[in-house]
Amino acid sequence: MQQILIDTDPGVDDAYAILLAMLSHEFHVPAITTVCGNVPVDQATQNLLTILGLLDLDEFPMIAQGEAAPLIKPLVTAAHVHGDDGLGNTSHLQNANGSPLYPPANTTLSSMTGTELILEMAAQYPDELIIVALGPLTNLATAIRKDPAKMRRLRKIIIMGGVFEEYGNVTTTAEFNIFVDPHAAHEVFQFGVPVHIAPLDATHQVVLTGERLRTETENQEDRVSRFLWDATQACMEFYREHVGFWGFHIHDALPIAMLTHPDYFESVNAYVQVETAGDLTNGMTIADLRPERQRSDPNAQVCLKVAAEAFLNAFFERLHAP
Ligand code: BDR
Ligand code: CA
């Protein structure tokens, strides 16, 4: 059983990832922390509760709200992609009697901050805890600053973020999670705990089309399927207008599947750096991936290839399993 802590800024694709993780028997998820990113952090926490409310859980993970602002830069959000509430405006949907269609989970927040909960879990599961980071890396950097010794005992950190051989999705050169807090990303990459990265180069290989999502969800009675269909509409419209197809990249689900189905992913060792200063290149992730240029001290594994169809099949299998 893998012990994972999810650090997240939900976010529609974060919802896919969290649901996949919670429905995967390989994991125990003792804690989930929220961070500002797609939406301000209090909305991210609200969204996490909504996502967990879709599941009939016997035991809830501990939940703590993390950082409300990046280390140095002002916060940039992504409501234009994920809807005003970050979950495709599903928070406005109601039952006939006026109650929310997707009510929050009946659980309470920890009194700890996100940083404190990360450190608490790192201490509770030394050499075992895997952090899956699905948003900007602010909470992780803050935890590293506060107690590096505890963070050194992490087993690894898996990140959705960055882009290496393609264009970025916020600027020409930068991917959203790294762009929002490049200083935090720099500190995490330099820290020395093994980092495994799912960049846009990998996540763009998985194309969830609107047609596939419809087929997978339309005759299903369960709340998870209904929610995914409802929550993804706004994103798919954004993609239709700005990306060129009706569908969605479920970026954040990849790091989860890298743990459950490692055979579907091919990665290379690399020395990854983050541009924190440049105007045009702020938040760019830089690594020379040419085999003959490899340094002897890689700080990350970068995933560059995904068995996309197998991954999508596995995702929906997990989703539909009783
Ligand atoms: C990343 O940015 C966010 O909008 C998504 O949730 C994902 O984590 C993709 O660049
Ligand atoms: Ca995210």
Atom of ligand 1 nearest to the CA of 13: 6
CA distance 112 to 155: 22
User: What is the residue extent of each domain of the chain?
Assistant: 2-208+249-320
For the residues of 248-317, what is the DSSP string, one character each? Answer: E--TTHHHHHHHH-GGGEEEEEE--EE--S-STTTTBEE----GGG--SS--EEEEEEE-HHHHHHHHHH
For the chain, what is the mean pLDDT? 96
- Known catalytic residue: 196? no
Q: What percent of the chain has pLDDT over 70?
A: 100
Q: Which residues line ligand 1 (CB under 6 A)?
A: 11, 13-14, 38, 78, 81, 134-135, 160, 169, 175-177, 251-252
CA distance 275 to 309: 33
**Which helix (DSSP H) or strand (DSSP E) does residue 144 occupy?**
helix 138-146
pLDDT tens per residue across span 96-153: 999 999 999 999 999 999 999 999 999 999 999 999 999 999 999 999 999 999 999 9
Q: What is the pTM of this model?
A: 0.96
Atom of ligand 1 nearest to the CA of 134: 8
Atom of ligand 1 nearest to the CA of 78: 4
Is CATH 3.40.50.300 correct for 2-208+249-320? no
User: Best mutation site among 6, 8, 12, 13 for ligand 1, i.e. most ligand atoms within 8 A of its Cβ?
Assistant: 13
pLDDT tens per residue across span 249-292: 999 999 999 999 999 999 999 999 999 998 999 999 999 999 88
pLDDT tens per residue across span 53-71: 999 999 999 999 999 999 9
For 98-193, where are the E strands, in sequence order? 130-133, 156-160
